[in-house]
Amino acid sequence: MTRKWIMRALCILCLAAMLTGCGREPEVTETTIEVKKNGQVVHTIIEDFSESYYNLDELESTIQQACDTYNASAGKEAVVLKAAKENDDHTVMVVMQYADASAYSAFNKLALFVGTVKDAFNAGYDLNVTLSSLKGDGEQIGKEDLLKMGEKHIAVVREAVNVRVWDKVRYGSEDVKATANAKTVSVTDADMLTYILFD
């Protein structure tokens, strides 16, 4: 085995490691709704847990009971508690997994829709909205433009939360703020229906 071959192999391994790292999603540090391409929704909740009367076991038990009750009613395991842990900075992180956006909405009593623009229109969502480009170039699109983008994907939420989707976000409502990750945006208004258009 020659030195040249070894160096070439090391270069390939290093490149593979770099590519693997690039493919990883950034660590979640704020409450985030992540919508996966297969339809599943992962809700990572990060909240202050510094008060002495907070009890992680009680919190976990309460959430699990709520999941069991919902799943029994739904007739399937639509909501799963994946993790509940206290972090070193005295915050608690709870990770919930939902079969789809409908399960998330029903369990949390909060609006969440994910699908194509065409699906959203057929589901009765009002697309008479103005969305702004996240490039910061001032470009805006309206209902007529959206209807021409029937196969593009759209997420609709009504809560102040980070939203991560599986492809690049292009446009959003006025309360949608870009983040360092092109697939993640911050929604700042909990009272209005927020629209997020992505590839």
Exposed/middle/buried for residue 104 (C-beta within 10 Å: 0-12, 13-18, 19+): buried
Instruction: pLDDT band for 174, please (50, 70, 90 cuts).
Output: very high
Per DSSP bridges, beta strands 32-35 and 162-164 are parallel
Q: Determine the residue type at 163.
A: V
Mean pLDDT of 57-81: 97
Residue 132 clears pLDDT 90, i.e. is over it:
yes
Fold for the domain defined by 25-109: Alpha-Beta Plaits (3.30.70)
Show the tokens assigned to 136.
């910061």
pTM for the model stands at 0.85
Residue 187 clears pLDDT 50, i.e. is over it:
yes
Q: Which helix (H) or strand (E) holds 80?
A: strand 79-86
Instruction: List, in order, residues 6 or more apart from 148 with CB less than 8 Å away.
Output: none
Q: Please write the tens of the pLDDT for every residue from 135-149.
A: 989 999 999 999 999
Distances (CA, A) of 150 to 76, 195, 196, 197: 31, 14, 14, 11
Domain boundaries, the chain: 25-109, 113-185+194-199
> Mean pLDDT, the chain, as a whole number?
89
Output the pLDDT for position 90: 87
Instruction: pLDDT band for 53, please (50, 70, 90 cuts).
Output: low
Beta partners for 172?
Answer: 132, 196
Tell me if 32 sits within 8 A of 47, measured CB to CB: no
Tell me if 161 sits within 8 A of 33, measured CB to CB: yes
> What is the C-alpha separation between 181 and 169, in angstroms, rounded?
9
Instruction: pLDDT band for 126, please (50, 70, 90 cuts).
Output: confident
Output the pLDDT for position 28: 85
